Amino acid sequence: MERLEQSAAIRGGVTGPYELPEYVELLITQDADRLALHIEQLSKAPCGKCGNPLPGGCGGIHKGEHDCAHTREARQLMLTEPPFMTEAELDALLAKRDEK
Ligand SMILES: [Zn+2]
C-alpha cells in the first residue's frame, strides 16, 4: 500500500498525485493496451501445429512441442516473462511438468 501511494504520487508528476482508484484504473488500462498489442503481434505467428494464433492456439494440446506457439510464444503474454532459459532447460522443465 505504501508503494502504491508512493507510485501514484510520483506518476502524478506536476499534475499532483493520482487518486488510488484512478491510478489503479490507469494501470489496468495500460496493461490491457499492452496485452492487445502483444496479441496482435502474436497473431502474425500462429501455432505451427494448428495454425491458430494465441492466446487460444491449439488449446495447448501440442504444448511442449517445438513448433507449437504454447511452448515459447505464450511466454510473451505473461505479465512478467520467466527468466531466459536455454532450449535444454526449457525441455527439462516441460518434461518435469508432464510427469505431474
Ligand atoms: Zn499449439
Domain range annotation of the chain: 1-42, 47-100
Question: Which amino acid is residue 95, in one-letter code?
Answer: A
C-alpha cell of residue 84: 531466459
DSSP state of 35: H
SS3 label, residue 97: helix
The Å distance, Cα 20 to ligand 1 centre, comes to 40
Residue 28 has pLDDT above 70, yes or no: yes
Instruction: Give 64 Cα–ligand 1 centroid separation in angstroms.
Output: 9
> How confident is the model at residue 83, as a pLDDT?
67
Cis status of the peptide bond prior to 55, with omega within 30 of 0: yes
Query: What is the pLDDT confidence band of residue 100, given thresholds at 50, 70 and 90?
Result: low
Q: Does residue 89 have a pLDDT over 90? A: no
- In the numeric block, the cell 493520482 is attached to 18
How do residues 29-69 score in pLDDT, each as one tens digit?
A: 999 999 999 999 888 888 888 899 999 989 989 888 888 98
State how far the alpha carbon of 89 is from the alpha carbons of 66, 83, 84, in Å: 13, 11, 9
pTM more than 0.95:
no
